[in-house]
Amino acid sequence: MQPMHKGRFADPAVEERFQQVGRRYRVPFVRVYGVLFMLIALAYSVSNPLLLAPAANARVAVWLGLTLLVAGAYVGATFWDGYVRKPVVDFSCLVLLQLLIGQVNVTLFEHLANVQAHLHAVATINRLAVTAFAAVTLAARPRLFLLWLGCDVLQWLGQIFADGTFPAEIVYALLSYVSGAVVMVAINLAIGVSSRWAFALAEALDVERGKNEAMVHNMLPAAAVEKIRDGRMVADAYADVSVIFIDMVGFSKLAKRVSPGHLVELLNGFFNHADRCAAEHGVEKVKTIGDAYLAIAGGNVACGNSADAAIAFARAVLAGVDEIGRVAGVEVGLRIGIHSGPVVGGVIGATRMAYDYWGETMNIAARIESTAPVNGIAISERTWLRARDRADFGAPRSELLKGVGDTCVFHAGPAQPDDLAPDPELPGISAAA
């Protein structure tokens, strides 16, 4: 929301845009009011010769002619491109109209006073003040306002005709009341229309804001969003998470065999399935890298035991491999690696922001994934010790990981020939530990 200062926007540029946009929306109503004003002046011009003495009629005709000229010029000015940037046009025209109508009223009042008429035309102005209040109060309810106006007209006519006043006064009172009532009806409609525009705009903005909020929270954790809004750096440390790295087997060869559209369909099916599994098991999706899927248990999304959540997620993903392949019409194989340890998470950069994680734990998980059997899971010793659900994992193996060295790894999945016996280099760890 734009900051305000003394009833105006603090930013002069914003204030200027607000004024111009408001004036642009009011242009149709200004034209309607101008035309109504000209019609009322014409009505007076037609009635005056029948009610006024020649001298008084001549003076009123001059003032009304000038009034028509100014009102016409006012309406014409609204078609000028620079009108919305020049509020002085409204001010000048309204001042001139006020002076001219004042002169017309002076002449009419002098005539009515000379014939000793009751000045019901003057009293009508007081009723129109209440009518103006009703027009604003009952905005956006034109039928209710017209009903109220009808009741007021009946009451007013009863007062006018009650004492049999001079005919000239009745005509001028009718002209004053009808002209004012017509303007009030136009004001009631204008306020209703503008209010509906504002409401529709606010509703549309709320819908778009909701979509944007959902999109932002889909990309960033809620806590990170709040920090970014406050202008704070997003940097978090997590002491114990389990990183899951999933890769599709033989993706490069597959990409050469199938069409790009078929490949995108396959990846979309795989990633959507992984997303559903992540939501089901309380695992946070971090990102996709080509055909690889990276997720974390125990980071921004709370879970009990991060290792158990990661393993359960991995098993759920593997359970859908056959269905993914059936839908895509090709054989699909996945390898999954899991490693537990500390990571650092945060948001870097100002464009295409995404919450990411860094640290050695991430690298080891990716390296362990490469040792997993096809459609199987490989976990590090640290994850194995952290997990309570170890049922499917066999004996430990020593794997030489690039950039890491010899690492104790446990496998679960299709049996491999050398998975049937424990590694002699790791006598202290057994499946029953």
Q: Residue 295 maps to which CATH number? A: 3.30.70.1230
Asked if the structure places residue 116 within a domain, the reply is yes
Longest dimension (CA), the chain: 127
User: What pTM value is reported for the model?
Assistant: 0.56
Asked if the structure places residue 431 within a domain, the reply is no
Residue 184 sits in the same domain as residue 331: no
- With H, G, I as helix, E, B as strand and everything else as coil, classify residue 432: coil
Residue 151 sits in the same domain as residue 290: no
Mean pLDDT score, 290-311: 90
**Domain limit, last residue, from 179, 212, 245:** 212
Between 353 and 127, name the one with better pLDDT: 353
| CA–CA gap between residue 339 and residue 365 (Å, rounded) | 5
Residue 332 sits in the same domain as residue 368: yes
Structural domain tally of the chain?
A: 2
Mean pLDDT score, 136-155: 75
Residue 124 sits in the same domain as residue 246: no
Between 322 and 200, name the one with better pLDDT: 322
> Hey, which bits of 146-250 come out as E strands?
235-248
Q: Reply yes or no on whether the pLDDT at 165 is more than 60.
A: no
Asked if the structure places residue 220 within a domain, the reply is no
Angle, CA 356 vertex, CA 237 and CA 319 arms, to 5°: 105
Q: CB of 416 within 8 A of CB of 373? A: yes
Token pair in block for residue 400: 């030489």
- The region that residue 134 occupies, defined by phi over 0 for left and psi between -120 and 50 for alpha, beta otherwise, is alpha
The pLDDT value given to residue 168: 63
Residue 278 sits in the same domain as residue 194: no
Residue 242 sits in the same domain as residue 364: yes
Between 25 and 309, name the one with better pLDDT: 309
Residue 414 sits in the same domain as residue 294: yes
Residue 128 sits in the same domain as residue 172: yes
Asked if the structure places residue 9 within a domain, the reply is yes
| Mean pLDDT over each residue of the chain, to the nearest integer | 80
Asked if the structure places residue 276 within a domain, the reply is yes
Q: Which residues pair with 287 in a beta bridge?
A: 294
Give the pLDDT band of residue 166 (cuts 50, 70, 90): low
Q: What is the pLDDT of residues 47-104, one digit of tens each?
A: 777 677 788 788 888 888 998 999 899 899 989 988 888 888 888 887 887 788 767 7
Token pair in block for residue 20: 């111009």
Q: What is the pLDDT of residues 330-375, one digit of tens each?
A: 888 999 999 999 999 888 777 777 888 999 999 999 999 999 999 9
Asked if the structure places residue 202 within a domain, the reply is yes
Residue 176 sits in the same domain as residue 315: no
Between 420 and 247, name the one with better pLDDT: 247
Q: CB of 305 within 8 A of CB of 387? A: yes
Residue 239 sits in the same domain as residue 183: no
Residue 75: enclosing H or E segment and its boundaries?
Answer: helix 54-77
Asked if the structure places residue 271 within a domain, the reply is yes
- φ, ψ at 334 (rounded to 5°): -125, 150
Residue 156 sits in the same domain as residue 279: no
Domain range for 88? 4-212
Asked if the structure places residue 143 within a domain, the reply is yes
Mean pLDDT score, 156-172: 63
Q: Reply yes or no on whether the pLDDT at 19 is more than 90.
A: no
**Domain limit, last residue, from 162, 180, 212:** 212
Give the pLDDT band of residue 270 (cuts 50, 70, 90): very high
Residue 169 sits in the same domain as residue 253: no
Mean pLDDT score, 219-240: 80
